[in-house]
Amino acid sequence: MNKILIILSIFILTSCKNNVFTNIAKTDVDIITEIHVSNANNYIEDLIIKLYKINPKYISKNKEFDTVSSVIIDIFKEVDKSKLDRTGQENINLILKGFSKDFNGDRIYLICKGLYGMINASYNYKRKFYLTDPKLDAQKIMNTAINIETLVWRLSNEKENNILLIKTNSIGDNKNINLSFERLFGKLINNQENMAKIISSQQGRIIQKAAKGIVSSIFLPIGF
């Protein structure tokens, strides 16, 4: 009995010690970064669900996955960084293929996979951050916000036979406009902008962003 109590006490003390060291090894910015990464992931998951809900035809065009939940699992799965394109162009190519007029598959899957990969790359494909980690690039995170604005523009303008390739905001039977997508994208953009400003302030660096109202049609590769 005494041996069991001793072993249990050692286990508890070791766990507490590890938690203390883990917390000590984090700065306030590390903790804030983890919150922003979690927020971004939640917003993207909500976006995937909503896009498929208003564009149900695309899940049937996916040759690998037949449910929205399986798509989400695939997009958010852990990746082998050694096998990734470090320039970030691969994620941009996924988004561009999703908008291609010649593509007849699941546009939502490709676009959201590219979007998640792009944001994930801006955080160096990490979800936990510590004092000893390499510093994040504030401009790279800000560039994701710019890219999201470009994505919103394309979703609102890319058409085939005068019909949007992917529907987002819609008008209901009562003529009220559903702006839930606009709000969701706004949260994601603000999330990335805020994180970029926090990091740039900490590092004493200036970050660049286009003037308000100017949206480029070109995506910026986000490498790591």
Segment holding 160, helix H or strand E: strand 159-160
Tokens of 138: 């504030």
Cα separation, 101 vs 92, whole angstroms: 16
pLDDT on residue 6:
46
Please report, to the nearest 10 degrees, the dihedral formed by the alpha carbons of residues 118, 72, 167, 125 taken in order. Answer: -10
Confidence of residue 81 (pLDDT cuts 50, 70, 90): confident
Question: Which residue is associated with the tokens 């993207």?
Answer: 44
Q: Please compute the mean of the pLDDT values over residues 104-126 and round it to a whole number.
A: 96
Confidence of residue 174 (pLDDT cuts 50, 70, 90): low
pLDDT on residue 23:
58
Phi, psi of 178 (to 5 degrees): -85, 110
Q: Please compute the mean of the pLDDT values over residues 51-71 and round it to a whole number.
A: 96
Single-letter code of the amino acid located at 208: Q
pTM here?
A: 0.84
pLDDT on residue 9:
43
Q: Compute the chain's Rg from CA coordinates.
A: 21
Q: Taken in order 49, 84, 93, 129, is the CA torsion positive or negative?
A: positive
Domain ranges of the chain: 27-203
DSSP state of 58: G
Taking CA atoms, 115 is separated from 42, 90, 93, 131, in Å, by 13, 11, 11, 27
Grouping H, G, I as helix, E, B as strand and the rest as coil, residue 159 is strand
Q: Please compute the mean of the pLDDT values over residues 63-69 and round it to a whole number.
A: 96
Confidence of residue 208 (pLDDT cuts 50, 70, 90): confident
Say which residue, 173 or 218, is predicted with more confidence. Answer: 218
Cα separation, 27 vs 162, whole angstroms: 51
Q: Which residues of 1-25 are buried (b: 16+ CB within 10 A; e: fewer)?
A: eeeeeeeeeeeeeeeeeeeeeeeee
pLDDT on residue 131:
86
pLDDT of 151 higher than 80:
yes
Whether 155 and 164 have beta carbons less than 8 Å apart is answered as yes
